[in-house]
Amino acid sequence: MSISIKSAATDHGGVTLVTAVVRNDGETDRRVRIANELDSVVRPPTQDGVAVDGWNGDGFEGVVAGGGTLALGYACGGAPADDPCRVAWTERAEATTATAATVADALRDLDDPRPPAESGPNGTPTTEPIPPAVATWLDGVADRVGDGTASEADRRALEAVDEHLRTLAGGA
């Protein structure tokens, strides 16, 4: 077979990151399906919250140019394995691959929906500053969380603040 794959998986705090390089030693472009072999759903790379073209929950499908390589990477919840993905199938790529547009294709083509920053109000924000005592307390909790010495009392206090803020925001 003119298609080969080299892949690796590493655990990063309960998330497995998979990298793969697919190589086409032949002269003809080949369409390939790369299947995830880990015991979890693929978390593909995204652009503006939409899976990049060619990806789904099981793996990737795309074209590797003749004599070329294709680098892939994705996240997964499964434990790492020696061979985290494999070439499920391969076929000769058509000269032109016409596919029906999908909603994901349309979303990928849209620009960022947020208004530009310069369209907002100018001047000084009208929000009240954080009272010094509250800022000092928050800084202390942040320091304790950062160095791993946060207490159960810190956790309960932060949960109470979070609940109060959600109530003020109307349960959002």
- Looking at the chain, the whole-number percentage of residues with pLDDT higher than 70 is 80
**Mean pLDDT, rounded, of the chain:** 84
Tell me the pLDDT tens digit for each residue of 137-157: 888 888 888 888 888 888 888
Q: Are residues 63 and 148 in the same domain?
A: no
**Range 115-123 average pLDDT:** 64
Higher-scoring residue by pLDDT: 94, 101: 94
| Euclidean distance between CA atoms 17 and 53, whole angstroms | 19
């003809």: which residue's tokens? 28
Number of domains composing the chain: 2
Tell me the average pLDDT across 62-90.
Answer: 93
Stretch among 1-5, 34-38, 92-96, 144-148 having the lowest mean pLDDT? 92-96
Do 100 and 137 fall into the same domain?
Answer: no
**22 and 105 co-located in one domain:** yes
Say if 124 falls within a structural domain.
no
* Same domain, residue pair 37 and 78: yes
Q: Confidence class of residue 94 from pLDDT cuts 50, 70 and 90? A: confident
Contacts 24+ apart (CB under 8 A), 67-72: 67/24, 67/25, 67/26, 67/27, 68/23, 68/24, 69/21, 69/22, 69/23, 69/24, 70/21, 70/22, 70/24, 70/32, 71/19, 71/20, 71/21, 71/22, 72/18, 72/19, 72/20, 72/21, 72/22, 72/34
Q: Considering the chain, what percentage of its residues have pLDDT values greater than 90?
A: 40
Out of 109, 140, 159, pick the residue that ends a domain: 109
Element (H, E) at 42: strand 42-43
β-strand partners of 46: 51
> Domain range holding 153?
132-168
Q: Which residue has the tokens 């390939």?
A: 32
